[in-house]
Homo-oligomer: A and B are copies of this chain.
């Protein structure tokens, strides 16, 4: 049901552009029996630019173990070419925590897709600063943790959350309309691994109540933006955005109802691409390979 079978692996590379990279990388994979099934590559500039590549390959005929492959790649290719890189195996699911507050729509969308095996992740926990959505988590058999969080107790709350996430070896966090701001210290533990859904077309309408802002401004399209969380509010690298047409007839409340449809779709796509290792962050922007 997942879009790539569990015998697939993905290699992500960032480096200075230089002749022969594709050749050397593909030679390495060919030598050890990795059959490339998808390759996408991008260079900011052919002369002294930055080079990005994403490869998918079949692991069935590998002549090395997964660990050996990674270790050989490090020595034989990554080091000589000074690559930033990662290899991930589709058989190992990422462990994702979901943070929510009271709105259920983003959580519902994620859990429903996950239960249908559209999203290849494990969900060790749902964390919320409110108890409201506990039943929701329960109906999908996912552990729910109610950890109160407001400015006065943020430090304690974040320590509690961090302890939980560490214990469960969480790889990343999805903020499915979590209405508390996380501290730079907390964010730093999961750099470029926290995905937020903001309910506007960023950079328009940063901050609180963007639907009211959009209504006040009289825009003819409203949108949603999935982005990585950084220490600057709503300013992290954008992963995905979409919009829907609206008319003067709709008040802020109705914009919110329509907008939730876009939020759900945009967040689900961003999470899917994250899980499929399609995203590289570069200069506070994202390279998203071969999406859809």
Q: A19-B30, A22-B36 are in contact. Are A221 and B242 (CB under 8 A)?
A: yes
Complex partner residue of A37 from B43, B118, B205, CB under 8 angstroms: B43
A12 to chain B, nearest CB (A): 14
Q: Considering only CB atoms and an 8 Å cut-off, how many residues of chain A contact the other chain?
A: 65
Complex partner residue of A41 from B36, B108, B220, B243, CB under 8 angstroms: B36
Complex partner residue of A218 from B38, B219, B285, CB under 8 angstroms: B285
A79 at interface by CB-CB < 8 Å: no
A3 touches B288 (CB 8 A): no
B46 touches A35 (CB 8 A): yes
Q: A22-B26, A58-B46, A265-B261 are in contact. Are A217 and B203 (CB under 8 A)?
A: yes
Q: Tell me the bound Cα distance from A107 to B284 in angstroms.
A: 36
Report chain B residues within 8 Å CB of A248: 42, 285-288
Which of A37, A38, A205 is packed against the most chain B CB atoms within 10 Å? A37
B204 touches A218 (CB 8 A): no
A240 at interface by CB-CB < 8 Å: yes
Q: Tell me the bound Cα distance from A43 to B8 in angstroms.
A: 14
A39 at interface by CB-CB < 8 Å: yes
Q: Tell me the bound Cα distance from A284 to B26 in angstroms.
A: 31
A289 to chain B, nearest CB (A): 9
Q: Which of A69-77, A146-154, A249-257 contacts B (4 or more CB under 8 A)?
A: A249-257
B258 touches A238 (CB 8 A): no
A56 to chain B, nearest CB (A): 9
A29 touches B23 (CB 8 A): yes
Which of A116, A220, A246, A290 is packed against the most chain B CB atoms within 10 Å? A220
Of chain B, the residue at the smallest CB distance from A292 is B247
B249 touches A42 (CB 8 A): yes
Q: Tell me the bound Cα distance from A33 to B26 in angstroms.
A: 17
A68 at interface by CB-CB < 8 Å: no
Complex partner residue of A30 from B20, B42, B217, B284, CB under 8 angstroms: B20
Complex partner residue of A23 from B23, B239, B243, CB under 8 angstroms: B23
**21 A-B residue pairs with CB within 8 Å:** A20-B30, A22-B22, A22-B36, A23-B26, A23-B27, A23-B29, A37-B43, A40-B41, A46-B58, A139-B139, A201-B201, A201-B221, A202-B217, A203-B217, A217-B285, A218-B237, A218-B286, A221-B243, A243-B243, A248-B288, A261-B265
